[in-house]
A and B are shown apart, each in its own frame.
Chain A
Amino acid sequence: MTETQVPPTPVAERCEGVAARVLRVALTERVVLLAVLLVVVVVWFRVLGDGGYLLAPYDVRYLGNALESMVPFALLAMAELFVIVSGRGGIDLSVGAIVSLAGMVFGLMVGVWGWPLVPAVVACIVTGALLGAVNGALVAYLRFPALIATLATYYAYSSIALVSNANAPISTPPVVALHGLTRNVDLPLLPPVPLHVFTILLPCALLAWVLLSRSTYGRSLYAVGTNDVAAGYATQRVARTRFSAYVISGLLSGVVALVTVAQFASARPDAGTVGNGMALPAITVAVLGGVAIQGGIGRVGGVLVAALLVTWLNAGMLLAFDGSEGSRYQLLALGLVLVLSALLNTLALRRYGRLS
Chain B
Amino acid sequence: MTTTTVTAAPTVPRRRRAGVVEGQELALIGVVGVLWIVLSLVTDTFLTSGNIQNILFTVAPIALIGIGMTAVIVTAGIDVSVGSQVAVVMVVVALIVRDAGTPFLPALAIALVTGIVLGAINGLLVAYGGIHPIIVTFGTLNIYRFVALQIFGTEQVAGVPGTFSPIGGGAEGRLLGVPTAWWLTIVLAAAMWCYMRFWATGRHLYAVGGDVLAARLAGVRVRRRQISAYVLTGACVGLAGCVLIGSGGLVQQNVGSGLELQVIAAVVIGGTSIIGGRGTVLGTLLGALLVGTVTSAVTLLSWPSELTQLFIGLFILVAVGVDLLRERRRSAR
Residues of A within 8 A of B (CB): 1-4, 91, 138, 142-145, 147-149, 151-156, 158-160, 162-163, 166-167, 275-276, 280, 283-284, 287, 293-294, 324, 328-329, 331-332, 334-336, 338-339, 342-343, 346, 350
Q: Please determine whether A142 and B314 come into contact, CB atoms closer than 8 angstroms.
A: no
Q: Please determine whether A138 and B275 come into contact, CB atoms closer than 8 angstroms.
A: no
Q: Which residues of B contact A145 (CB under 8 A)?
A: 274-275, 320
Whole-angstrom CA separation of A294 from B135 in the bound complex: 11
**A147-B274, A163-B306 known, 19 other contacts, Cβ within 8 Å:** A2-B212, A2-B222, A2-B223, A143-B324, A151-B313, A152-B314, A156-B314, A159-B307, A163-B304, A167-B304, A276-B257, A280-B138, A280-B142, A287-B135, A331-B143, A335-B141, A339-B131, A342-B139, A346-B129
> Which of B275, B307, B309, B316: most chain A Cβ within 10 A?
B309
What are the 7 closest A-B residue pairs judged by CB atoms, nearest first? A335-B142, A155-B313, A156-B313, A339-B139, A335-B143, A159-B310, A162-B306
Q: Which residues of B contact A276 (CB under 8 A)?
A: 141-142, 145, 257
Does B317 have its Cβ within 8 Å of any Cβ on chain A? yes
Q: Please determine whether A293 and B149 come into contact, CB atoms closer than 8 angstroms.
A: no
> Which of A1, A153, A276: most chain B Cβ within 10 A?
A1
Whole-angstrom CA separation of A143 from B321 in the bound complex: 9
Closest chain A CB from B325 CB (angstroms) = 10
How many A-B contacts if CB must be within 8 Å?
144
Q: Please determine whether A153 and B313 come into contact, CB atoms closer than 8 angstroms.
A: yes
Q: Please determine whether A342 and B131 come into contact, CB atoms closer than 8 angstroms.
A: yes
Whole-angstrom CA separation of A306 from B130 in the bound complex: 22
Does B127 have its Cβ within 8 Å of any Cβ on chain A? yes
Q: Please determine whether A328 and B142 come into contact, CB atoms closer than 8 angstroms.
A: no
Closest chain A CB from B312 CB (angstroms) = 5
Residues of B within 8 A of A (CB): 78, 125-127, 129-132, 134-136, 138-143, 145-146, 149-150, 154, 212-213, 216, 222-223, 226, 257, 261, 264-265, 268, 274-275, 304, 306-310, 312-314, 316-317, 320-321, 324
Q: Please determine whether B135 and A336 come into contact, CB atoms closer than 8 angstroms.
A: no
Q: For chain A, what secondary structure do more than half of its interface residues adopt (helix, strand, loop), or is it mixed?
A: helix
Q: Please determine whether A342 and B135 come into contact, CB atoms closer than 8 angstroms.
A: yes
Whole-angstrom CA separation of A4 from B222 in the bound complex: 12
Offer 12 A-B interface pairs, CB within 8 angstroms, sorted by A: A1-B130, A143-B324, A145-B320, A152-B316, A159-B306, A276-B141, A293-B132, A331-B143, A331-B146, A331-B149, A339-B129, A339-B139
Closest chain A CB from B80 CB (angstroms) = 9
Whole-angstrom CA separation of A283 from B131 in the bound complex: 14
Q: For chain B, what secondary structure do more than half of its interface residues adopt (helix, strand, loop), or is it mixed?
A: helix
Whole-angstrom CA separation of A4 from B6 in the bound complex: 14
Closest chain B CB from A280 CB (angstroms) = 6
Whole-angstrom CA separation of A5 from B265 in the bound complex: 32
Nearest chain B residue, comparing its CB with the CB of A269: B306
Q: Please determine whether A332 and B313 come into contact, CB atoms closer than 8 angstroms.
A: no
Nearest chain A residue, comparing its CB with the CB of B140: A335
Q: Which residues of B contact A156 (CB under 8 A)?
A: 309-310, 313-314
Q: Which residues of B contact A334 (CB under 8 A)?
A: 139, 142
Nearest chain B residue, comparing its CB with the CB of A346: B130
> Which of B140, B223, B313: most chain A Cβ within 10 A?
B313
Q: Please determine whether A335 and B309 come into contact, CB atoms closer than 8 angstroms.
A: no
Q: Which residues of B contact A2 (CB under 8 A)?
A: 127, 130, 212, 216, 222-223, 226
Nearest chain A residue, comparing its CB with the CB of B136: A339
Q: Please determine whether A332 and B142 come into contact, CB atoms closer than 8 angstroms.
A: yes
Q: Please determine whether A91 and B130 come into contact, CB atoms closer than 8 angstroms.
A: no
Q: Please determine whether A275 and B306 come into contact, CB atoms closer than 8 angstroms.
A: no
Known A145-B275, A145-B320, A342-B131; contact A151-B264, beta-carbon cutoff 8 A: yes
Q: Which residues of A contact B275 (CB under 8 A)?
A: 145
Q: Please determine whether A148 and B268 come into contact, CB atoms closer than 8 angstroms.
A: yes
Closest chain A CB from B109 CB (angstroms) = 27
Known A158-B309, A328-B149; contact A144-B142, beta-carbon cutoff 8 A: no
Q: Which residues of A contact B321 (CB under 8 A)?
A: 142, 144
Closest chain B CB from A303 CB (angstroms) = 15
- The contact of A346 among B131, B143, B150, by CB within 8 Å, is B131
Q: Please determine whether A335 and B139 come into contact, CB atoms closer than 8 angstroms.
A: yes
Q: Please determine whether A336 and B139 come into contact, CB atoms closer than 8 angstroms.
A: yes
Q: Which residues of A contact B307 (CB under 8 A)?
A: 159, 163
Whole-angstrom CA separation of A138 from B318 in the bound complex: 11
Q: Please determine whether A155 and B132 come into contact, CB atoms closer than 8 angstroms.
A: no
Whole-angstrom CA separation of A147 from B310 in the bound complex: 17
Whole-angstrom CA separation of A244 from B93 in the bound complex: 48
Known A2-B127, A339-B125, A342-B135; contact A154-B313, beta-carbon cutoff 8 A: yes
- The contact of A1 among B132, B139, B320, B324, by CB within 8 Å, is B132
Whole-angstrom CA separation of A120 from B129 in the bound complex: 47
Closest chain A CB from B291 CB (angstroms) = 11
Closest chain B CB from A186 CB (angstroms) = 36
Whole-angstrom CA separation of A18 from B32 in the bound complex: 66
- The contact of A159 among B78, B226, B264, B309, by CB within 8 Å, is B309
Q: Please determine whether B78 and A332 come into contact, CB atoms closer than 8 angstroms.
A: no
> Which of B146, B307, B314, B324: most chain A Cβ within 10 A?
B146
Q: Which residues of A contact B138 (CB under 8 A)?
A: 280, 283-284, 335, 338
Q: Which residues of B contact A142 (CB under 8 A)?
A: 321, 324
Closest chain A CB from B10 CB (angstroms) = 13
Q: Which residues of B contact A287 (CB under 8 A)?
A: 135
Nearest chain B residue, comparing its CB with the CB of A334: B142
Whole-angstrom CA separation of A1 from B125 in the bound complex: 11
Q: Please determine whether B261 and A155 come into contact, CB atoms closer than 8 angstroms.
A: yes
Whole-angstrom CA separation of A350 from B128 in the bound complex: 13
> Which of A138, A166, A334: most chain B Cβ within 10 A?
A334
Known A152-B314, A342-B132; contact A336-B127, beta-carbon cutoff 8 A: no
Whole-angstrom CA separation of A276 from B130 in the bound complex: 25
Whole-angstrom CA separation of A326 from B130 in the bound complex: 31
Q: Which residues of B contact A149 (CB under 8 A)?
A: 317, 320
Q: Please determine whether B324 and A144 come into contact, CB atoms closer than 8 angstroms.
A: yes
